[in-house]
Amino acid sequence: MDNSYCSCCFNNNVMDMNNNIEKKWQTEWKNNHVFESKIDNNRPKFFVTVPWPYTNGSLHVGHGRTYTLGDIIARYKRLEGYNVLFPMGFHESGTPILAFSERLRENDPDTIKLYRSYLEEYEEKGNIDRLIESFKEPENIANYFADKIINDFTALGYSIDWTRRFTSADADYQEIVKWQFKKLKDLNLIKQGNYPILYSIKDENAVGEDDIKDGDVDKVTIEEYTGLILENDDFNLIAASVRPETIFGITNAWISNSLYTIFEYNNKHYAVSKEAFTKLSYQYNIKFVKDIKPDEITSRKFKVPLLNEYIDVYIADFVDPDNATGVVYSVPGHAIYDYYYIKKLGLKLNIKKVIAIDNISVEKLLERYGYEEKSLKEATQELYKAEYYNGILINSGNYSGLSVKDARDKIKNDLISSGKAIIVYETSRKAVTRSGSKVIVAVINGQWFIDYSQPWLKKKTHEMIDEMAFYPEFYRKIMADAIDWLRERPCARKRGIGTRLPFDNEWVIESLSDSTIYMVGYTNLKYLRNIYNELGEIPDEILNYVYLNGDFPENYKKFREDIQMARNEFNYWYGVDLRITAPPHISNHLSFYLMNHAAIFEKDKYPKGLIISGLVISNGAKISKSKGNVISLLKIKEKYSADIYRLFVAVGADISSLLDWNEKDLSAVIKRYESFIDIMNNFEFKNDDGFIYKWFASRFYSNLNDYFNLMASYKIRDAYISIFYNVLNDIKHLELRHGDVNAAVSMILKDWLIALSPVIPHTCEEYWHRYIENSFVSLKTLDKNIANRIDNYTIESENYIENLINDIREIKRAAKISGSGALITVYGDDQEYFIKNYNNLTGKFKIAIPDYMKNKQRIMNKMIDEYAIINENIDYIQEMTSLKIEVNRSNKIDKKNPWPGRPLIRII
RNA sequence: GCGGAGAUUGCCGAGCCAGGACAAAGGCGAUGGAUUCAGGGUCCAUUUCCGCAGGGAUUCGGGGGUUCAAAUCCCCCUCUCCGCACCA
């Protein structure tokens, strides 16, 4: 708590300076068009994308991580000499913006509060009401926040080429989406069918997880029941079950003591509970006939299909009329409830066994759990599970001998195809929307799907995945599994912002499906736009030519220049070399992204790499409004500056792991950054040489080498620990050695600023201009050929000195003595001879073998001139140990010897 | 249930894929010291235990195995986290 004090001090000084500096360079970059990418055939290209943000509100720390990683990588790739394209656009498709706008129109207090909180960060108090009023028009929300996000991204120093910006609501972009869907249809990947969804009768709308009360903590899913038709000449009864394989064990049926409804379906009459009728009317085209009392059912007998026997119906209070059809059939041989109630009601029924399984049965379970109502549920679960995994059907006609698993699907399908059963959908639990209206399952007729189940498409996508790069690697398998798991996916809905299906105007393409290949637009939409503006469409012939190397569209040759540019830009930049996203996208966006590319494009346009970064939490908790730990990007850059945020994102956690945004870790990063600023502000060019400068330069290039190697696999954190933290530590060490910091930094400043610039670009740009030259460090490249600048002999020598000092200290501590001096004996000719001729030693040398073996682990294999090195650094050793140091060379081999890297030390 | 990730020394968190110099990086915290210093700054040292000579003992969720050698490889167990669809 108290150290908030110190970050305040920091805020006042460095922070203000930083904000000015940052704005200055952002303006310079923009005015000089530094990050606007152009085709350059002399350089390899690198196309990096992050998902376009959804514009229904402002972004927070969590969102910022992915974008910041994208920018760091874009900048690093420039530094490596690539021609980089790092674009951005905005997502406006789908229902949320529409829904928020609607709620504002209804003056919903929560929504008003939410938007007020967004706006308070950006606007003067006086403007807020006016803006909220304007948000009643959905596009005003989208436009407002798109602008704010551009500002935020600019303020964080992102090197985005904004000239290529577009949104998913732009009419010209939507021409590409339409073209894409026509392609998918040509490939037979578009289908139509019935589809169950969660639905609110009162709202007359589909409901998502977010709309359901406690939907995030207790998920609601759609359950599929088999509605078995029990026949009677007056009317049929529909009994719902999740275990159709037990049909041969039916002895009776149960209903509740409540109202039932008779309806007409395909000219026949059926009865279900009154509640069930309402729900079924959203699943089937049925007509109300009349309500009846339960005794109209219990007074009749009904015939069970397949079994071909007539059964009685009884009233039981465990039957819930508001679950499925409100009618259940009874299999006392294999259902705990049924058995219990038959005994309880004293019914004389012939209990049949139709599943063979060892060591478990209804009777045994009831004995174990006790004949009590409260334990029935638990016993049921145990029984169902055991029978499902281990049961074999018996006494079940043609189905005898099948496993329960197999029989379930087979009997269900046979019943449905012969008209003896229908599918009945029900929610997995009773659920209501946030506004309190009941959630049921409705079946949408004529729903459009993309069929991702096609084997040829899965195969192609798997081949793509095999070729791609994944960071971290383990996501390759997760991605492949997600592809296998994908089936038909609804791709359109009746409302929301987006593109209309080109072959069915009633439907709007669903928001994730319209954004699977949108990155193509970054390469060339600005040229296609010219065509759209004139024609009001972008004809397929043009897009086929541009994206699929089709024939030149002679009909449109007056647009030859734009068409040619669009095609060149696409062929030069596409495919996406690296896409950076987060884990929640794997089973949806990323799967569609890969599969749509596999379906439509040639291999050389496939995605080439994927980074999946970890989540961001804030102060140890998931970021959410309710926890009050949402920190907007705007606030971050105001409070900490862009470079500090970027540095924290880079070094705060490994790319794949959880990043916790918290004051403590942050202040550690700030401390290091401040010491860098300190060095830089006090810098002036100086010349000096000597051992420690040689060491420092070697260490720097060794760190730089590590940086290159680590960045090659996007280990950004480790790379910056090398080039930032390690170098700062070396500078501290150099000070301890009484080296001149400025002289040392003079040797490496240019390369250091370039290497740091991807993470702290503003800071680097500032010092680059101040000390180096008037050009943009953001566009400089670094030479990787630095092996000759690393002098390992010097590095090892310094290590040797440090080890020596540590040994002397340890001896002093362990021996609890404090002499005034130390005599150091380093290895001599005899020891050197010993090591070189270890395999055929003779005479006097044999005496040293035990000593050599004992110390072997710490003997350096490379020999350095220890005598000279100690003498060269003797002042430092004396200072660090507070001992007067004397050195000599060993002149004989003995029982106890100094060895390379392991001198003898005697405190005197 | 299915699939995935993980459990490391006070805390956070590297290392594990390619076994050996690992008592195990780094940060935070703690302790001692330095700094013409009055204790929120900076620097140095220590931070599993034992040790009057640079050493030894015991550790990396639990158990077993492979190996000259295991935090690292194999098997079993326990526990934690994440995803499972129409929602951007």
Model confidence over A183-235: pLDDT tens digits? 999 999 998 888 888 888 877 777 776 667 766 556 777 888 889 999 999 99
Q: How far is the CA of A336 from the C1' of B73 (A)?
A: 49
Its ipTM equals 0.89
Task: Please name which of A831, A827, A897 lies closest in space to residue A868, comparing C-alpha atoms.
Answer: A827
Whether the pLDDT of residue A444 is over 50: the answer is yes
The top-scoring range by mean pLDDT among A511-520, A655-664, A858-867 is A511-520
**Sequence-ordered list of residues with C-beta below 8 angstroms from that of A198, at least 6 positions apart, any chain:** A206, A207, A208, A212, A220, A222, A427, A431, A439, A440, A441, A442
Strand segments, DSSP code E, in A201-284 are 205-206, 222-230, 236-241, 252-255, 260-265, 268-273
- Of residues A603 and A57, the one with the higher pLDDT is A603
Whether the pLDDT of residue A326 is over 60: the answer is yes
Strand segments, DSSP code E, in A135-219 are 190-200, 205-206
Judge whether residue A847 contacts strand B, using its CB and a 7 Å cut-off: no
| Residue A258 in domain | yes
Judge whether residue A816 contacts strand B, using its CB and a 7 Å cut-off: yes
Please report where in the chains the tokens 């012969």 appear, as a residue: A418
Whether the pLDDT of residue A25 is over 70: the answer is yes
- Of residues A483 and A862, the one with the higher pLDDT is A483
| Residue A260 in domain | yes
The pLDDT confidence band at residue A861, using thresholds 50, 70 and 90, is: low
Average pLDDT over chain A, rounded to whole? 87
Residue A815's nearest nucleotide, by CA–C1', is B52
| Residue A892 in domain | yes
Specify which residue's alpha carbon is closest to the C1' of nucleotide B20: A857
Judge whether residue A857 contacts strand B, using its CB and a 7 Å cut-off: yes
The pLDDT value given to residue A663: 77
Judge whether residue A817 contacts strand B, using its CB and a 7 Å cut-off: yes
The pLDDT confidence band at residue A7, using thresholds 50, 70 and 90, is: very low
Please report where in the chains the tokens 């350095």 appear, as a residue: A864
Domain boundary among A392, A407, A427: A427
| Residue A549 in domain | no
Whether the pLDDT of residue A899 is over 90: the answer is no
What's the whole-number mean pLDDT along residues A293-310?
93
Judge whether residue A585 contacts strand B, using its CB and a 7 Å cut-off: yes
- Of residues A454 and A859, the one with the higher pLDDT is A454
* Helix axis angle, A633-640 to A61-79, nearest 10°: 70
Q: How far is the CA of A736 from the C1' of B22 (A)?
A: 28
**Number of domains making up chain A:** 2
The fraction of chain A above a pLDDT of 70, given in percent, is: 95
Task: Please name which of A488, A489, A493, A518 lies closest in space to residue A504, comparing C-alpha atoms.
Answer: A493
Residues A488, A476: Cα–Cα separation, whole Å: 22
Residues A3, A658: Cα–Cα separation, whole Å: 24
| Residue A205 in domain | no
Judge whether residue A487 contacts strand B, using its CB and a 7 Å cut-off: yes
The fraction of chain A above a pLDDT of 90, given in percent, is: 42
The pLDDT value given to residue A27: 96
Q: What is the CATH number of the domain that holds A800?
A: 3.30.2320.20
The pLDDT value given to residue A97: 87
What's the whole-number mean pLDDT along residues A417-429?
88
Six token digits for residue A556: 């449109």
Q: How far is the CA of A272 from the C1' of B70 (A)?
A: 66
| Residue A154 in domain | no
The pLDDT confidence band at residue A11, using thresholds 50, 70 and 90, is: very low
Residue A908's nearest nucleotide, by CA–C1', is B53
Judge whether residue A198 contacts strand B, using its CB and a 7 Å cut-off: yes
- Biggest alpha carbon distance in chain A? 117
Q: What is the CATH number of the domain that holds A420?
A: 3.90.740.10
| Residue A844 in domain | yes
The top-scoring range by mean pLDDT among A379-393, A540-554, A581-595, A666-680 is A540-554
Judge whether residue A810 contacts strand B, using its CB and a 7 Å cut-off: yes
The pLDDT value given to residue A318: 86
Got the DSSP string for A544-592?
Answer: HHHHH-----GGGGGGHHHHHHHHHHHHHH-S-SEEEE-GGGIIIIIHH
What's the whole-number mean pLDDT along residues A668-683?
88
Structural domain including A881 reads: 794-907
Pairs from A117-120 (Cβ < 8 Å, separation ≥ 24): A117/A625, A118/A57, A118/A58, A118/A145
Length of chain A: 908
Residue A513's nearest nucleotide, by CA–C1', is B86
The pLDDT confidence band at residue A2, using thresholds 50, 70 and 90, is: very low
The top-scoring range by mean pLDDT among A286-295, A647-656, A816-825, A882-891 is A286-295
Helix (H) or strand (E) holding A822: strand A821-826
Q: Edge-to-edge strands of the sheet including A659-661?
A: A621-622, A616-618, A659-661
Q: How far is the CA of A594 from the C1' of B77 (A)?
A: 39
Residues A647, A624: Cα–Cα separation, whole Å: 24
Pairing of strands A302-304, A309-315: antiparallel
- Of residues A397 and A758, the one with the higher pLDDT is A758
Distance of CA A194 to the CA centre of its chain: 31
Judge whether residue A459 contacts strand B, using its CB and a 7 Å cut-off: no
| Residue A326 in domain | yes
Domain boundary among A427, A454, A472: A427
- Of residues A528 and A816, the one with the higher pLDDT is A528
What's the whole-number mean pLDDT along residues A415-431?
87
The pLDDT confidence band at residue A8, using thresholds 50, 70 and 90, is: very low
Specify which residue's alpha carbon is closest to the C1' of nucleotide B82: A583
Return chain A residues 738..757 having CB < 7 Å to nucleic acid strand B: none
What's the whole-number mean pLDDT along residues A513-523?
94
pLDDT tens digits, A57-110: 888 888 888 999 999 999 999 999 999 999 999 999 888 888 888 888 888 888
Residue A197's nearest nucleotide, by CA–C1', is B86
Judge whether residue A717 contacts strand B, using its CB and a 7 Å cut-off: no
Nucleotides of B strand lying within 7 Å of any protein CB atom: 3-6, 12-14, 21, 25-28, 40-46, 51-55, 82-88
The pLDDT value given to residue A593: 94
Domain boundary among A427, A452, A469: A427
